[in-house]
A = this chain, B = another copy of it.
Amino acid sequence: LTKLTDIGEFGLIARFSPRFLSNLPAGVVGIGDDCAVLPWKKDARLLVTTDMLVEGIHFLRDRIRPRDLGAKSLAVNLSDIAAMGGKPDSAFLSLAIPRGTGVEWLDRLFKGIGDLTASENIHLLGGDTTRSPGPVVINIAVLGRVHPARVKFRSGARPGDEVCVTGFLGDSGGGLRVLLENRRQGRDEAYLVRRHNRPRAHLAEGAWLAGKKGVTAMMDVSDGIDSDLRRIMERSGCGAAVELEELPLSGPLRRAAAVRGWNLYEVAATGGEDYCLVATVRPDCLPGIARGFERKFGRRLSRIGSITGERGKLRYRLNGNPAVLGRHGFDHFR
């Protein structure tokens, strides 16, 4: 008997998706990108995404405040909408809850969801509530829209394109390590934990980048760039080279890694859950786009490497020398 652990999460998707990718109607993009894309109106495509958070896998109930958990459950979906260059419109929440759960805990969970729907002008339009025999399970589906001329896919990267990210890498992975290490925390650690528990979807950044023709591919950094870049490589039929010294790292992450002996580049490239965006940009367009990004958002669009023609090969370099990472990006079943 084959176990799930033998084939992994991406093996599972590869095993089951082909039958659902044949005979799609015109204009429909199915499994394989951050969102599904459906025909909608003349000036808009419909985006749909869904994410499931399971207690004990994605979060520990005693390490995250319910208000943060509610907001994060929604934010991870908004991040998928951001990756397509879209604007989120509505959300649908399914919730499995153990019998003894306090209503006050749920009040705060809904407060976190409600704060974010209000600030992003999203409407929670439906869902399902049920009992759970064990873990809290939160599934949110989000519908959004994007102009047909602006939608960005994972499949558009071409050799020579530059690889850029819209925010710090590794903060969330560092925060997770802090939560699991259970050691005394200072201000740096508190910052990292907050970045893990309360990620921000880069909706404004995604919408802005979507308006640039020089942006050839985009996705959100959910499993770590080591894993996420491989998804872009697969869909675009190319390879990539990353210069580790170019990864944008926050001061708190640098200091916490030094104190705690973490491999900084490993945390940054494989930690996951940063929920910034990774975009590939035509080299001739990068200077203008980077300047515009900095003017608009007050921080850098960081170039971390480039797309290569070495199909399927993700190479790392550190200060010009080949480098190897100790761990790979996140896979739920390994």
Interface residues of A (CB under 8 A from B): 1-7, 9, 12-13, 15-16, 19-20, 23-25, 28-31, 35-36, 38, 40-41, 46, 48-52, 54-58, 90, 92, 94-97, 99-104, 106-107, 110, 114, 117, 123-135, 137, 139, 141, 143, 332-333
Contact among B52, B92, B100, B107 for A128, CB-based, below 8 A: B52
A64 to B199, CA, bound (A): 39
11 inter-chain pairs at a CB distance below 8 angstroms, sorted by A residue, are A3-B103, A4-B99, A4-B103, A23-B123, A28-B90, A31-B126, A35-B126, A48-B125, A51-B94, A52-B94, A54-B131
Q: Which residues of B lie under 8 Å from residue A3 when comparing CB positions?
A: 99-103
Q: A94-B52, A97-B4, A126-B36 are in contact. Are A132 and B135 (CB under 8 A)?
A: yes
Chain multiplicity (copies): 2
**Which residue of B16, B36, B90, B123 contacts A125 across the interface (Cβ within 8 Å)?**
B36
- Chain B residues contacting A36 (CB-CB under 8 Å) are 90, 92, 125-126
Which B residues are in CB contact (< 8 Å) with A117?
A: 20
Of A24, A97, A100, A141, which is in contact with the most chain B CB atoms at under 10 Å from its CB?
A141
Distance (whole angstroms) from the CB of A237 to the closest CB of chain B: 21
Tell me the minimal C-beta distance from A91 to chain B in angstroms. Answer: 9
Output the least CB separation between A48 and chain B (Å).
6
B133 touches A134 (CB 8 A): yes
**Partner of A92 from B6, B50, B57, B135 at Cβ < 8 Å:** B50
Distance of A135 Cα from B132 Cα, bound (Å): 9
CB-nearest residue of chain B to A15: B103
Taking CB atoms, residues of chain B closer than 8 Å to A99 are 3-5, 333
B residues near A15, Cβ cutoff 8 Å: 103, 107
* Pairwise interchain contact A124-B20, C-beta atoms closer than 8 A: yes
